[in-house]
Each structure stands twice: as C-alpha cells, then as structure tokens.
Amino acid sequence: MQPNPFEGMDHDAVMRMLRERAADVEERARRMSAGFAAAAATASSPGGAVTVTLSPTGALQDISFSAKAAGHKPEALGPLVMSAVAAAQRQASAKLTETLAGTFGDPSTMDFFRRFVPEPEPAAQPARRDPGDGAVLRRRPGGARPPGPPDDGSDGGILR
C-alpha cells in the first residue's frame, strides 16, 4: 500500500495545492487545444495551380484550382494536388509538434507523442514537368516533321 502523500499536511494547504495543480492542467489543456485548432495548414503546389487546406488531423477541408491549372494536362493535376497535400501535411505536423513541445516539453513525453505525430518529412524535389503549353504536340525532337503535306511555312506545328 502506498503511503498517503498528504499525511500530516494541513487540509487547507492540500486543497490549495490540488487547486493549483488543477489550474495548471486546465491551462495546459487550453493551450494545447488552441494549438491543435491552429494546426490547420494551407499549401499550394509549385507554381500555385493547386491550393489545399488540411485540418489538424490531416483531413482535406478545401481544394482549389487557380487559372494556372488550365495550363496543365489533366494527368498532371493529380501530382500537383499530391505535392500541395504533402506540403500542408508537413506544415500541420510541424505545428502539432511545436504545440506538444510547448505543452509537454520533457523528452519522454515528446518521444511518446512522436510515435503518433511524426516529424515533418523534408520537401521532395519538384519533378520536372511538361510546361503544359502543348509544345509536346507542336514539335518533334530534332525538328523532324511527320510525313504529310509539304511544309507551308508555319512554325512546325503538327496541329493546324
């Protein structure tokens, strides 16, 4: 049986100590709740064609496409969305980790939390992308033209 940690203490002193501890726990919980609420993250893809907002839990809350998205092929939009989501996830994870470190700064508690809120991963290098201006359809490598009618002096485009 554990000894009573309050044995021999004045009743008023015990109550005062318990109230102080309760107030401290309440303040920590309030700061942590505010930090979690502020951990929503908004990020855009390279070039700004896609912007996403994630909740602190990582749920997609909003996605928008700027006019720049029209300059991309449809199959290029998926990777742009994913790059924006990855950037927002890194932001949210960094905000959550910062909130937790500010509330529970001791290393053993942070190690426990890091199992559930991993450190943000470094940003991936942007992949080389097609400029999206249709140049792939207009020119062939080396200037070669497909068989067809004689050259009409245009810019070499195969679509007329």
Contact in structure between 64 and 72 (CB atoms under 8 Å): no
**Model confidence pLDDT, tens digit, residues 108-126:** 777 777 777 655 556 555 5
List CB contacts of 129: < 8 A, sequence separation 6 or more. Answer: 72, 76, 79
Rounded distance between C-alpha atoms, residue 144 and residue 155, angstroms = 12
* pLDDT tier for residue 3 given thresholds of 50, 70 and 90: confident
How many angstroms from the chain centroid is the CA of residue 104?
A: 23
Top CATH class, 35-118: alpha beta
Rounded distance between C-alpha atoms, residue 111 and residue 100, angstroms = 11
Per-residue pLDDT at 96 exceeds 80: yes
Per-residue pLDDT at 12 exceeds 60: yes
Mean pLDDT of 103-111: 76
- φ, ψ of residue 25 in degrees (nearest 5): -65, -40
Which amino acid type is present at position 4? N
